[in-house]
Each structure stands twice: as C-alpha cells, then as structure tokens.
C-alpha cells in the first residue's frame, strides 16, 4: 500500500469516494496525472478553505488603499478580515490610505428582518462626511443575498448623490465553493468599473502592470525595486499597495505580468480581449524563477538595451546574495518539504525551495483549479519570436563576453540548479515518483500524511500551522510569513532560507514529550479522597 492508499483507507466509503480523486501519488514523473479540484468540500470535514466574501473583500479589493471598502453584514466578517491578511500598503504623498480601518454596517437582527439598505446608505453618508473618499466599495456577506438587499442600486444612488465611484459586489460567502468565486466576482467589478477610465499614459519605454501581487510582507515592494532598476515603469499593481487612482490607467500599460494566476487570470484574459494587452505568467518567488521571469519579460519586449540591463541587474543582485545563498544551501540541501497554501503559492514556493536544494514531497492547494495543478501553456504572442519560450536557456551563468564575471567557475556551478526551472510546468509535473499532490487538504489528512512521509518542514496556513508544529514538525506560515518577509525576489529568497533554516534547526517541539504519552489522561478523585 502506498502512502495515498494508507491515508484514504481510513475513510468511510462515502468520504473515500469523494476524496480519492483529490489525492494523487506521482507515477512516471514528469507526470501527466490529473486531479479533481474546485469542487465542494464534504460537509463536516475541517477544511482550510475560506469563503467567497474572503476572496473578494479579503483578497482582491481589500488591498486597494484609496478605496473605502464597506463590509455590508453583521460585524464578524468585517472584523475577521480586518488586518489579518498582510497586504502592506504605504500612503502616497497627500493620498488616502484606508487599509488600517475596518468599515462595516454592523447589521443587527432588525436590519435582517426589515432590510439593511437604509443602514448601508447611512454608513456611506457617514463615510463621506468623515473621509471623503474618491471610491467606495460595498462587499456583501451571506445575509445580504438571503434578505435581498440591492447593493448595486445603493452603489448607483451613491454615485449620483456624491459624484464619486461606488461599486457593489455580490460576493456573499456561500457563493461558489471557496475564495475562488470571490476573486472572479472582484475581477469582474474592477474590469467593468475601474480599468480603462483613466488617461494617464506611462512615460517609460516599457511599461507593465503586475497582476496577482498582493504585497504580502512587502513582496511587491521588493519586486518593484528590481523592476525599476531595470527600467520598467509599473502603471499599477493588482492589488497589493494598489489604488483606484492608478488602476484606472491599467489599460495603457504595454504588458500584464500575472504573478498569482489563480486570483486574477480573469482580468488578464479580459484585458487581452478588450484592449489587446498581452499577458505573461511570471513568478518572482525563487531565485531561478525570478531570473526566468525577468528574462521572459526582456524577451517579450525584444529590445537589446533592455536585455543587457536585465542581465546586468541579475548579476548584481546575485552577487549581493551569493554568500548567504551558499550558506543556507549548505544548511538546507537534501531536506524535504510539504507545501500547502491557497491557490498559487504552493507552486511558487516549490521553486524557491528548489533553489536551496529542498525537495517538495507533499504539495497541495486549498482552492486552486486544475490548471494550477496540471500546468498549462500560458504565453502571450511574443513579439517577433513567437515560438521560443526561452526555458531551455535558464542558467544563471554570466556571459563573460559582456560582463566582467563576478563569480568564479565553481561559484557559478554551485548556483546552477539541479532541475531546470520552468515557470509554466505546474505543480504535478515538477514532482518526483512517490510524492503526493493533494487538493483541499484537510486537518486529518495533514496529520496522517506528515506521519507517513515525514517532511523536515511543512509550509502551511494559520489554521493548520500550530497542530503541525506542536506535533514536532517545524512549520512556516505561507500566507503571512509568520510576520517575516519579504520572501519574493533575490533578497526575499535569503529571508526565506534564513527562516526555514531557523525553523528546522530550532525545532523545540520535537524535544517535548506530551503528557498523554507518559501518564494517564484520566484525572479525577474517587470516593471523595
Ligand atoms: S496573497 Fe494570494 S497568491 S491571491 Fe490567493 S491564490 Fe489567498 S490570501 Mo492566503 S496567501 Fe494564498 Fe494565493 Fe493568489 Fe494569499 S496561496 S490563500 S486567495 N493567496
Ligand atoms: C483568506 C486569507 C488568508 C487566510 C490564511 C489562512 C490569508 O483566504 O481568507 O487561513 O491560513 O492569506 O490571510 O488566505
């Protein structure tokens, strides 16, 4: 019996029937195996998933700093999404930043019985009086759809009354099977009401938008730093540290980069259809992946000056982290990891782990779709060189003809990765025989698989992290980096390796014997003694 079968064997036949297609054990790698994903969780199973409202408000529209986002519903949902996700944002000079606030209509029972539109309008008038925002967004929680409040009508009335932008989102928590439905609803709103309404043209020769970068732990800022060094102008970022003010002009950028494919591919596809903007799937998590992404971008623009500058910056950034990368490689090489996050990070972190010689033996997503697991050929029409994907040429070797080499031959050899990277391959195709891929991983399965496969580290989320860690397997949180970061780009890679090494080498819980292993858990007194 392999690990997959041993784990599934514990289920009743009904649950087994559902779960068996969500778990695969790799055979004949690189594997073309298929997986079932994006379906309803079996009721009663403790899933890590969130809801549609979380995907719309918490993930996509929440990070837009100059938009005042009102949660229409009882206070719990607004409160839960108040600052728990670490999408950092910095105020523009003289600009608005509502990220630290939690706005909610705080609906009570009478509002549920008699309707909440009046309360919502009152909340909007209060918000206008105090903050005078340029844009208000209304996000619906479960009761709103059930009682039939029309947030879209309120949004239209708000626009007429105050002359501002106001967008309603019908993102009730119960819609869809996870956060994913909320991403889709949010994307439609941004496309319909914001993108294309501005006219500020970019000035630089090459301009881009970054889609699906939410600036968790400052990742977006680290990416921006490198991209600006190369000379790119970033028109807008969807939506980490993002803004209504800049998103209006998104259609004027030359190229869309898609970082988190899961949450925002809808916008990329719609912009391609409506404005003809090409999009390129990138991954700035991982040294090799970042280099590939930068080279793919240069290749897209097909400008010798840009290509040269790209290579210069790559060399310079690598030189700055070289010693630390070597040190952490010596600490981490040969370790094995489990990676489980929402919809795109698990695959991104596979690449970063690989940079340090760590193999991913268990991987999965909460709510990804099949294309996120199985990979898909996603490449725009590359100007003048349509069929090359530039994936066979992915070493990080400097061209000695052009640059005075900063690395010795042996250093370059050390930097070269074992497996050639491919940002488009997908999770399943990058895993070796015997490794496990799992969709909508639940708590029981997490515990079982960790026991069976014994990873040295398990990268996970808020809800599952502590069980894993206290069970003796070190864990790092991939959604907010346990308040560390940034983990993206060149410098971020070193931060990540440091945190992973720290977790593995100071695994305190592994040395603690739980009391139930040495003494009876039945405590009580008999006969009044
Ligand atoms: S920042 Fe992103 S990268 S947007 Fe998405 S699919 Fe969530 S909030 Mo948590 S960390 Fe996670 Fe991804 Fe895209 Fe974050 S893996 S679950 S909905 N996600
Ligand atoms: C969300 C946000 C979340 C939650 C993280 C977790 C985040 O989907 O509601 O539960 O581990 O990144 O903050 O994914």
Alpha-carbon span 45 to 192, nearest angstrom: 37
Q: What is the pLDDT of residue 516?
A: 82
Alpha-carbon span 290 to 296, nearest angstrom: 10
Atom index in ligand 1 nearest the CA of residue 260 equals: 13
Which of 22, 72, 183, 347 is catalytic? The answer is 183
Joined together, the tokens standing for residue 243 give 């803004």
pLDDT tens-digit series, residues 508-519: 999 998 888 888
Atom index in ligand 2 nearest the CA of residue 81 equals: 9
Note if 29 is an active site residue.
Answer: no
Q: What is the pLDDT of residue 426?
A: 82
Establish whether residue 59 lines the binding site of ligand 1, counting it when its CB lies within 6 angstroms of any ligand atom.
yes
Q: What is the pLDDT of residue 154?
A: 98
Rounded to the nearest angstrom, the distance between the alpha carbon of 49 and the centre of ligand 2 is 8
Q: What is the pLDDT of residue 30?
A: 80
Establish whether residue 349 lines the binding site of ligand 1, counting it when its CB lies within 6 angstroms of any ligand atom.
no
Which of 37, 52, 54, 368 is catalytic? The answer is 54
What does pTM read for this prediction? 0.90
Note if 370 is an active site residue.
Answer: no
Which of 4, 19, 49, 51 is catalytic? The answer is 51
Establish whether residue 341 lines the binding site of ligand 1, counting it when its CB lies within 6 angstroms of any ligand atom.
yes
For ligand 1, mutation pick of 343, 364, 487 (most atoms within 8 Å of CB): 343
- The stretches in the chain having pLDDT less than 70 are 376-424, 523-529
Per the listing, tokens 């697991």 go with 373
Give the N- to C-terminal CA distance of the chain in Å, as an integer.
Answer: 51
For ligand 1, mutation pick of 214, 289, 346, 463 (most atoms within 8 Å of CB): 214
Which helix (H) or strand (E) is 360 found in, with range? Answer: strand 359-365
Alpha-carbon span 396 to 351, nearest angstrom: 15
Which helix (H) or strand (E) is 239 found in, with range? Answer: strand 233-239
Q: What is the pLDDT of residue 490?
A: 97
Q: What is the pLDDT of residue 523?
A: 67
Alpha-carbon span 70 to 156, nearest angstrom: 15
Q: What is the pLDDT of residue 517?
A: 85
Establish whether residue 463 lines the binding site of ligand 2, counting it when its CB lies within 6 angstroms of any ligand atom.
yes
Note if 337 is an active site residue.
Answer: no
Q: What is the pLDDT of residue 524?
A: 63
| Residue nearest to ligand 2 atom 9, measured at CA | 54
Atom index in ligand 2 nearest the CA of residue 51 equals: 9
**Residue 523 burial (10 A CB sphere; 0-12, 13-18, 19+):** exposed
Q: What is the DSSP letter of 294?
A: H
Establish whether residue 462 lines the binding site of ligand 2, counting it when its CB lies within 6 angstroms of any ligand atom.
yes
């Amino acid at each position: 019996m392999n690990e997959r079968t041993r784990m599934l064997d514990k289920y009743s036949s009904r649950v087994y029937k559902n779960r068996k297609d969500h778990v695969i054990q790799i055979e004949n790698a690189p594997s073309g195996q298929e997986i079932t994903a994006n379906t309803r969780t079996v009721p009663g199973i403790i899933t890590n998933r969130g809801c549609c409202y979380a995907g719309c408000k918490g993930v996509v529209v929440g990070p837009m700093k100059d938009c005042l986002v009102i949660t229409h519903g009882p206070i719990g949902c607004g409160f839960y999404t108040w600052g728990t996700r670490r999408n950092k944002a910095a105020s523009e000079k003289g600009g608005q930043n509502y990220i630290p606030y939690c706005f909610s209509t705080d609906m009570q029972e009478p509002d549920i019985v008699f309707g909440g539109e009046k309360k919502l309008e009152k909340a909007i008038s209060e918000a206008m009086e105090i903050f005078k925002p340029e844009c208000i967004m209304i996000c619906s929680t479960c009761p709103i759809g059930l009682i039939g409040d029309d947030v879209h009508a309120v949004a239209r009335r708000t626009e007429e009354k105050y002359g501002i932008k106001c967008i309603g989102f019908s993102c009730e928590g119960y819609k869809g099977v996870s956060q994913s439905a909320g991403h889709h609803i949010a994307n439609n709103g941004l496309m319909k009401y914001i993108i294309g309404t501005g006219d500020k043209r970019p000035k630089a020769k090459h301009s881009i938008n970054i889609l699906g970068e939410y600036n968790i732990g400052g990742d977006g800022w680290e990416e921006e730093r490198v991209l600006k060094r190369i000379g790119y102008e970033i028109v807008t970022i969807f939506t980490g540290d993002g803004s209504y003010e800049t998103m209006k002009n998104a259609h004027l950028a030359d190229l869309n980069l898609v970082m988190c494919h899961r949450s925002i591919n809808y916008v990329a596809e719609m912009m391609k259809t409506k404005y003809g903007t090409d999009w390129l799937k990138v991954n700035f998590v991982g040294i090799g992946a970042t280099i590939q992404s930068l080279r793919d971008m240069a290749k897209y623009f097909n400008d010798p000056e840009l290509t040269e500058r790209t290579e210069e910056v790559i060399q310079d950034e690598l030189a700055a982290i070289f010693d630390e990368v070597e040190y952490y490689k010596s600490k981490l090489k040969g370790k094995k990891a489990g990676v489980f996050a929402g919809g795109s990070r698990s695959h991104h972190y596979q690449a970063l782990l690989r940079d340090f010689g760590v193999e991913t033996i268990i991987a999965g997503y909460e709510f990804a779709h099949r294309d996120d697991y199985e990979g898909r050929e996603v490449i725009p029409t590359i100007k003048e060189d349509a069929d090359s994907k530039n994936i066979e040429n992915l070493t990080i070797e400097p061209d000695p003809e052009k640059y005075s080499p900063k690395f010795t031959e042996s250093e370059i050899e050390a930097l070269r990765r074992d497996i050639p990277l491919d940002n488009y391959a997908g999770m399943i195709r990058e895993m070796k025989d015997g490794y496990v891929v799992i969709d909508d991983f639940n708590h029981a399965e997490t515990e079982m698989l960790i026991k069976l496969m014994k990873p040295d580290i398990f990268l996970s989320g808020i809800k599952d992290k502590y069980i894993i860690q206290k069970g003796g397997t070190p864990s790092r949180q991939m959604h907010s980096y346990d308040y560390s970061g940034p983990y993206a780009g060149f410098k971020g890679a070193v931060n990540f390796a440091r945190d992973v090494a720290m977790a593995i080498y100071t695994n305190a819980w592994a040395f603690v014997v739980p009391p139930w292993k040495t003494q009876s858990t039945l405590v009580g007194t008999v006969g009044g003694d």
